[in-house]
Amino acid sequence: MIGNILKMQTVLGEQGTGQVVQYSLPMGGDLLPLNEHIGEKISLRYKNEIHCVACGRKTSKSFAQGHCYPCFRSLASCDMCIMKPETCHYAEGTCRQPEWGESNCFIPHYVYLANSSGIKVGITRGTQIPTRWMDQGATQALPVFRVATRLQSGLLEVALKQHVSDRTDWRKMLKGEAEFQDLGSIRDELFDRCSGEIDDIKKEQGADAIQVIDEEVTHIKYPVSAYPDKIKSLNFDKQADIEGCLMGIKGQYLILDTGVLNIRKFSGYNIEVDFV
């Protein structure tokens, strides 16, 4: 199969006593199921062509996971406030695309705790639960706040990340299952340690805008037959032909016996995929 790839699509399905992520790779207008190919040899060939994931134009270089440079510079989805939502500048009238901001940033967001390479705090739109957790390779996840806007979620994340990380160690995540954590107890401890900052945010943003929620922990399993002892990153920009036995999939990474490949990083690349 040949086509311009996008980040892998995920579905959290039931299998045995745990929920195992089902992966498919978008290629052009088709979807390539991947779980059934675990244990097979896979060949991926970069055809030296990239198309912007936003406008579709051909580009010689990819920016922000698949964008051409004009889209990278003009789209609100590529602005720095997406990475740092506490810096939202919509109220200043400088949002790159106000209508996009209203549709994507002024909707319910969740602040959550997840366990991928250890405990981390993160934020996501309600529509991206549990997709966001699967993309990060989390084995446990727990929503702790529901808020009205992306800005509010960013302010809460800043308060909590004084005590827990807001990043995933992708190398550690790909070396095995994260050690089990009591997310409920960690949440309660964070509430106590950050109570002053949380109260300040409520006073500024309005008490009704921020809701503490009590939900069950989501447990996630990944289709991995074996984890690598050492992590070697594979890169289409350095190696057009990538081959190896597909040992598993976690987060947005294919785990081969020859290295690991971050599919999301190469969104928009034209790739030919074969299995043996």
- Residue 79 has which token pair? 């602005």
Q: Residue 144 domain-assigned?
A: yes
Domain that holds residue 212: 107-219
Number of domains in the chain: 2
In a domain, 95, yes or no: no
Q: Is residue 204 part of a domain?
A: yes
Q: Are residues 209 and 158 in the same domain?
A: yes
List of long-range contacts for 8-13, beta carbons under 8 Å, 24+ apart: 8/34, 8/249, 8/252, 8/263, 8/264, 10/131, 10/134, 10/135, 12/130, 12/134, 12/218, 12/220
Name which of 65, 7, 58 is nearest 31 in CA terms: 7
- 206/123 same-domain check: yes
Q: Does any domain span residue 211?
A: yes
Q: pLDDT of the chain along its 276 residues, tens only? A: 999 999 999 999 764 446 899 999 999 989 999 999 999 999 999 999 999 999 999 999 999 999 999 999 999 999 999 999 999 999 999 999 999 999 999 999 999 999 999 999 999 999 999 999 999 999 999 999 999 999 999 999 999 999 999 999 999 999 998 999 999 999 999 999 999 999 999 999 998 889 999 999 999 999 999 999 999 999 999 999 999 999 999 999 999 999 999 999 999 999 999 998
Q: Which of 78, 27, 10 shows the shortest CA–CA distance to 273?
A: 27
Residues 195, 209, single domain; the answer is yes
Same domain, 227 and 214: no
Residue 255 sits in the same domain as residue 212: no
What's the pTM value of the predicted model, to 2 decimals? 0.93
From 175, 198, 219, the end of a domain falls on 219
Is it true that the peptide bond before 223 is cis, omega within 30 degrees of 0? no
Burial annotation 197-211 (CB, 10 A radius, 16+ → b, else e): ebeebeeebeeeebe
Decide if 96 is inside a domain.
Answer: no
CA distance 207 to 185: 24
User: Are 14 and 39 part of one and the same domain?
Assistant: yes
- At 206, list the tokens: 């309005």
Whether residues 54 and 114 fall in one domain: no
What's the rounded Cα separation, in Å, for the pair 189 and 162? 13
Note whether residue 197 is domain-resident. yes
